[in-house]
Amino acid sequence: YFYAPDRRGENGEKFLPGFNGILQIDGYTGYNRLTKPSRKGGDPITVAYCWAHARRKLYEVAQSGTAPIAEDGLKQIAALYRIEKDIRGLPPEARLAARQDRSALLIAAFEAWLTTNRAQLSAKAPLGEALKYIAKYWDGLCLFLTDGRIEMDNNTVERTIRPIALNRKNALFAGHDDGATNWGVIASLIETCKLNSVDPHAYLTDTVTAIVAGHKQSQINDLLPWNYTK
């Protein structure tokens, strides 16, 4: 977690210096500057977009009334997710092979469906706007076909930030920017513990105890969550 006092795009440059990999995000435009050759702190980043956000636009239209086109789009996306369910947990190479063999054809069909329906709908209609959103981020949505490390969506990240987002209003007038920065560090440690099946309370207790007892700063890596043993 990284705290920033606002949503300006330059914040991405501050917490991703030197990172030159793939960034998976929703449609937030603040990260666009990271994809440019002029990016500060590293080479241009490749951006993969989120199918859950693309699906949500169609779902909202389908929920508002009879919308066969939106429902058809949801069915096509559901077929892609069924493939992802089958290959979840497999090595990247195996996931990539399965996607090339099974998902690529569905993506090609979806692209044709998207083009046909966009030509027939007003871009200002709710469904037209939903399709426009998908088309806008199409290249990044298809990136999962070329790299087995990429997920179809960023729901894992969404789930880990939701508790903090829900608490945001409670914390508006508590502490200050330094407190928020420190909380970002603590929250990162807690969530990293969870990802590594480590009890956060036990980890923090033992780690603080070790630091107080004089654990050497040069050996700080030994205290990271993935190296923790009771």
Q: What percent of the chain has pLDDT over 70?
A: 98
* pLDDT tens digits for range 109-163: 999 999 999 999 998 999 999 999 999 999 999 999 999 999 999 988 888 888 7
CB 22 within 8 A of CB 1: no
Q: In this predicted structure, what is the pLDDT of residue 174?
A: 62
Mean pLDDT of the chain: 91
- CA dist., res. 7 & res. 26, Å (int): 14
Categorize the per-residue pLDDT at 54 as very low, low, confident or very high, splitting at 50, 70 and 90: very high
Q: Which of 9-13, 15-19, 150-154, 184-188 has the highest mean pLDDT?
A: 150-154
Find, among 9, 26, 3, 38, the residue nearest to 176 by Cα.
Answer: 3
Q: What are the pLDDT digits (tens) for 60-70?
A: 999 988 899 99
Residue 211 has pLDDT above 80, yes or no: yes
Assign 107 to helix, strand or coil: helix
Q: Which residue has the tokens 């949801």?
A: 74
Which residue is listed with tokens 């086109």? 69
The pTM assigned to this predicted structure is: 0.81
pLDDT band at 32 (very low <50, low <70, confident <90, very high): confident
Q: Which of the residue ranges 81-85, 105-109, 177-181, 185-189 would you say has the lowest mean pLDDT?
A: 177-181
Distance from chain centroid for Cα 151: 9
Residue 168 has a pLDDT of 72
Share of the chain above pLDDT 90, in %: 63
Question: Is the pLDDT reported for residue 216 higher than 90?
Answer: yes
For residue 24, give the H/E element and its range.
strand 22-25
Quickly state the pLDDT bin for 173 (edges 50, 70, 90): low
